């Protein structure tokens, strides 16, 4: 090999060696990036990606009938930092180093979720890695805290210098606290969607439409550019009255605390319009206090003796019995096909049909219904269904139950149905039926939302809806109303009149009430419990010219026995007295009692 050839080979060897070393260096660098520096570069890459951000619309308010806010959105914010903005890295990071300590100390003092050292480490790491969107706190801050942070020396220079931004994320609040809380409903804090109550039913109207923004680099700076504006949600105006709601809940709460009951429910409704003015659902907590946890108002229960009025109305209207007919009841009960029907007031006596409803005799109602409909139970059930109780009515509360009134397979079940077992109604449906009696036989749908509106005015209204124009014959209605009067005002028979010690139940000198008590044994593990009861009183007032209908249900009182007239009747009496004092007054004109709203 000549000298020239040797030099050529040597040159190729050197070039090959250099290429191999360079290639090896590239492989080493790739391995280094994929292992030790992987996270840092991924974070930097993530920060450079343009991202779209939703602009959440402001959720609409829920208002009471007088425009007072029942639920609203309070502004809260999440604090972010764009640690890659150029001013924080200019002049060898001089601006960042000048303010990092004071900023860390201030954030710790204002937000109070990290120590100053923890904030300094968080800020320093974000700055070193040039992170684009760093959440500085897991907590949300309120508007006052936002103002305090905005006054800090670095933040005052603006987001393009400090990198500090505030992402609004409103919190749903209820200014009246627990009042009608379950009915108003709740909102998922992350999604902004309603989950229960009116918040869920009218979620589309309340939520509005979210907008969209995108991050773009403009003039060597990252800016949030609005692509689509958000449309704020609409306001929902309810029929509820905050003052009547307070009256209703206070009366119910006091009685629950006195009796130690499991739960209670109370609904107040305008007789002639169907507007719900107050609704309260209170459950006992582990510590013995009561709070809104479950909407019992639209949950099916066995109605007990409040169903007797429905059964008797059917029998009177079908001509199976007359209001002045008499029935013999017995102290030891009445045996029918092996089932012994007993009364809560055992006594051998003869009762008129009117008195039987006033004293709430199980035996009398079982006799009336079995004698009238034995062999034709389907006719009895269809007669009740024709009253409108089974209609699929629109209800603003999600998950509301339909009534269950099935055709019995045997007459024994029919006899139990006569006084409220083997059937199920919600308190709202019971209220609707008795309101029909108070409203001269016209049964109307209860409703809680009167209008939907925006900042410019009303968009949609809801009016009174008739379910049944006539529940029964006019004579039947007169007879039923007379018996419901006796329930409260017949001191010898009425189950809501006075107790053996002379204490008044639903009677009042301030307002005349008519209505019906109901008591039902509770089912536990498939068996009726003789010492556990659900009590009810439903009535209307003033009796002479009904303006309001009210129902109170109390489940399983654990102290002082049980008495539907005393416990539930007294609650309705207190609500009636305060409602009349608040909403209107009596006036005599042409020898007639007139009710006038203030």
Q: Calculate mean pLDDT across residues 453-468.
A: 91
| Alpha carbons 44 and 134: distance in angstroms, whole number | 12
pLDDT of residue 173: 86
User: What's the pLDDT at 6?
Assistant: 66
Distant-in-sequence, close-in-space partners of 183: CB < 8 Å, separation ≥ 6: 197, 198, 240, 279, 281, 295, 297, 397, 448
3-state secondary structure of 214: strand
Q: Which residue range is the domain that position 115 belongs to?
A: 52-79+95-238
Confidence of residue 4 (pLDDT cuts 50, 70, 90): low
Asked if residue 111 lies in contact with residue 139, where contact means CB atoms within 8 angstroms, the answer is yes
Q: Is residue 171 part of a domain?
A: yes
Give the CB-side neighbour count of residue 132, counting CA atoms within 13 A.
18
Would you state the pLDDT for residue 188? 86
89, two tokens: 């890295």
Q: Please give the pLDDT value at position 176.
A: 86
Cβ(214)–Cβ(223) under 8 Å?
A: no
Rg of the chain's alpha carbons, rounded to an integer?
Answer: 36
Checking if the pLDDT of 48 tops 60, the result is no
Nearest residue to 278 (alpha-carbon basis) of 6, 579, 586? 579
Quote the pLDDT of residue 219: 56
Task: Using the predicted structure, report yes or no on whether residue 207 has a pLDDT greater than 70.
Answer: yes
Q: Which residues contact 188 (CB under 8 A, 6 or more apart)?
A: 194, 195
The reported pLDDT for the residue numbered 500 is 85
Same domain, 374 and 249: yes
Give 191's pLDDT tier (boundaries 50, 70, 90): confident
Q: Which pLDDT does position 5 carry in this prediction?
A: 66
Residues 224 and 306 in one domain: no
Q: Report if residue 448 sits inside a domain.
A: yes
Same domain, 103 and 251: no
- Residue range 240-252: mean pLDDT, rounded: 95
Q: Judge whether residue 407 has pLDDT over 60.
A: yes
Give residue-wise pLDDT tens across range 303-319: 999 999 999 999 999 99
Q: Is residue 37 part of a domain?
A: no
Provide the mean pLDDT of the chain: 88
The whole-angstrom separation of Cα 407 and Cα 34 is: 74
Q: Contact 258/220 with Cβ under 8 angstroms?
A: no
Which DSSP category does 389 fall into? I
Is 533 inside a domain boundary? yes
What is the pLDDT, as a whole number, of residue 201? Answer: 92
pLDDT in tens, 311-352: 999 999 999 999 999 999 999 999 998 889 999 877 889 999
Residue 237 clears pLDDT 60, i.e. is over it:
yes
Classify residue 234: in a domain, yes or no: yes
**63, 277, 391 from 66: Cα distances, Å:** 8, 11, 31
| Percent with pLDDT over 90 in the chain | 61
Cβ pair 468, 388 in contact under 8 A = yes
- For position 564, which CATH number holds? 3.40.710.10
Q: Both 310 and 176 in a single domain?
A: no
Q: Confidence class of residue 448 from pLDDT cuts 50, 70 and 90? A: very high
pLDDT confidence bin for 1, thresholds 50/70/90: low
pLDDT band at 197 (very low <50, low <70, confident <90, very high): very high
Q: Is residue 36 part of a domain?
A: no
The distance of Cα 205 from the centroid of its chain, to the nearest Å, equals 17
Tens digits of residue pLDDT in 95-108: 999 999 999 999 99
Q: Are residues 169 and 256 in the same domain?
A: no
Residue 248's pLDDT is: 97
| Residue closest to 303 by CA, chosen among 517, 541, 529 | 517
**What is the pLDDT at residue 12?**
72
In a domain, 592, yes or no: yes
Residue 291, number of CB atoms within 10 A of its CB: 14
Give yes or no for a cis peptide into 542 (omega within 30° of 0).
yes
Q: Which residues of 471-507 are buried (b: 16+ CB within 10 A; e: fewer)?
A: bbeeebbebbbebbbbbbbbeebbbbbbeeeeebbbb
Q: Residue 473 corresponds to which tokens in the numbers above?
A: 């014959």
Pair 258, 209 in one domain = no
Cα gap 59→172, rounded to integer Å: 9
Residues 465, 586 within the same domain: yes
Say yes or no: 297 and 417 in one domain: yes
Q: Tell me which of 223, 238, 253 is where a domain ends.
A: 238
- The domain total for the chain is 2
Structure-block tokens of residue 62: 């829920």
**Domain final residue, candidates 172, 204, 238:** 238
Residues 355 and 328 in one domain: yes
Mean pLDDT of 448-475: 93
In this prediction, residue 490 has a pLDDT band, given cuts at 50, 70 and 90, of very high
Q: Which of 238, 264, 291 is the last residue of a domain?
A: 238
Looking at the structure, tell me whether residues 70 and 187 fall in a common domain. yes
pLDDT of 47 above 60: no
Q: Is the pLDDT of residue 40 over 90?
A: no
Mean pLDDT of 570-576: 97
Residue 548 inside a domain? The answer is yes
pLDDT surpassing 80 at residue 54? no
Q: Is the pLDDT of residue 45 over 60?
A: no
Q: In 3D, which of 463, 428, 448 has the Cα closest to residue 202?
A: 448
In a shared domain, residues 267 and 342: yes
pLDDT at 301: 96
Beta strand ranges found along 326-378 (DSSP E): 326-329, 334-336, 339-341, 349-352
Answer yes or no: is pLDDT of 444 > 70: yes
If one compares 173 and 303, the residue with the highest pLDDT of the two is 303
Q: How confident is the model at residue 384 (pLDDT cuts 50, 70, 90)?
A: very high
Q: Which residues contact 277 (CB under 8 A, 6 or more apart)?
A: 65, 239, 240, 241, 244, 245, 268, 269, 270, 548
Picking from 127, 236, 201, 250, the residue whose alpha carbon sits closest to that of residue 578 is 250
Same domain, 421 and 568: yes
Average pLDDT over residues 129-153: 89
pTM of the full structure: 0.82
Q: What percent of the chain has pLDDT over 70?
A: 90
Mean pLDDT, rounded, for 588-593: 68
Give the domain CATH number at 73.
3.90.1310.10
Q: What is the pLDDT of residue 450?
A: 95
pLDDT of residue 220 exceeding 60: no
């Amino acid at each position: 090999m000549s000298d020239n050839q040797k030099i050529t080979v040597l040159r190729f060897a050197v070039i090959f060696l250099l290429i191999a070393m360079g290639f090896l260096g590239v492989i080493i660098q790739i391995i280094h990036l994929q292992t030790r520096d992987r996270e840092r570069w991924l974070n930097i890459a993530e920060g450079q990606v343009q991202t779209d951000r939703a602009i959440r619309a402001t959720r609409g308010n829920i208002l009471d009938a007088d425009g007072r806010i029942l639920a609203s959105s309070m502004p809260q914010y999440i604090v972010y930092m764009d640690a890659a903005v150029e001013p924080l890295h200019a002049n060898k990071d001089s601006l960042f180093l000048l303010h990092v300590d004071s900023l860390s100390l201030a954030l710790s003092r204002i937000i109070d979720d990290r120590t100053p050292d923890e904030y300094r480490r968080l800020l320093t790491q974000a700055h070193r890695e040039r992170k684009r969107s760093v959440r500085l706190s897991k907590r949300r801050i309120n508007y006052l805290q936002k103002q305090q942070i905005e006054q800090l020396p670095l933040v005052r220079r603006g987001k393009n210098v400090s990198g500090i931004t505030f992402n609004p994320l409103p919190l749903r609040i209820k200014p009246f606290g627990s009042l009608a809380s379950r009915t108003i409903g709740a909102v998922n804090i992350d999604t902004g969607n309603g989950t229960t109550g009116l918040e869920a039913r009218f979620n589309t109207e309340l939520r509005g439409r979210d907008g969209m923004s995108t991050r773009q680099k403009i003039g060597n700076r990252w800016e949030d550019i609005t692509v689509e504006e958000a449309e704020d949600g609409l306001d929902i105006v309810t029929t509820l009255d905050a003052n009547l709601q307070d009256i209703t809940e206070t009366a119910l709460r006091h009685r629950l605390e006195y009796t130690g009951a499991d739960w209670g429910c109370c609904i107040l409704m305008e007789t002639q319009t169907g507007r719900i003015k107050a609704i309260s659902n209170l459950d006992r907590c582990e510590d013995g206090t009561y709070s809104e946890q479950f909407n019992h108002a639209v949950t099916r229960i066995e109605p007990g003796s409040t169903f007797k009025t429905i059964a008797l109305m059917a029998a009177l209207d079908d001509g199976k019995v007359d209001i002045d007919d008499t029935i013999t009841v017995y102290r030891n009960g009445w045996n029918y096909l092996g089932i012994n029907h007993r009364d809560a007031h055992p006594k051998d006596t003869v009762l008129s049909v009117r008195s039987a409803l006033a004293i709430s005799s199980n035996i009398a109602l079982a006799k009336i219904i079995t004698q009238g409909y034995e062999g034709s139970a389907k006719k009895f059930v269809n007669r009740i269904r024709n009253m409108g109780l089974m209609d699929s009515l629109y209800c603003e509360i999600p998950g509301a139950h339909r009534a269950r009134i099935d055709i019995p397979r045997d007459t024994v079940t029919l006899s139990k149905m006569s006084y409220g077992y083997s059937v199920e109604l919600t308190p709202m449906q019971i209220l609707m039926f008795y309101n029909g009696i108070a409203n001269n036989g016209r049964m109307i749908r209860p409703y809680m939302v009167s209008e939907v509106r925006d900042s410019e005015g009303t968009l949609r209204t809801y009016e009174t809806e008739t379910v049944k124009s006539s529940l029964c014959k006019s004579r039947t209605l007169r007879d039923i109303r007379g018996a419901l009067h006796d329930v409260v005002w017949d001191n010898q028979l009425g189950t809501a009149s006075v107790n053996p010690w002379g204490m008044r139940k639903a009677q009042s000198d301030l307002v005349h009430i008519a209505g019906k008590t109901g008591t039902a044994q509770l089912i536990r593990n498939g068996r009726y419990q003789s010492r556990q009861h659900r009590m009810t009183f439903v009535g209307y007032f003033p009796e002479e010219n009904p303006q309001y209908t009210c129902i109170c249900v109390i489940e399983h009182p654990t102290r002082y026995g049980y008495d539907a007239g005393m416990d539930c009747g007294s609650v309705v009496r207190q609500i009636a007295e305060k409602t009349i004092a608040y909403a209107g007054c009596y006036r005599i004109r042409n020898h007639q009692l007139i009710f006038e709203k203030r």
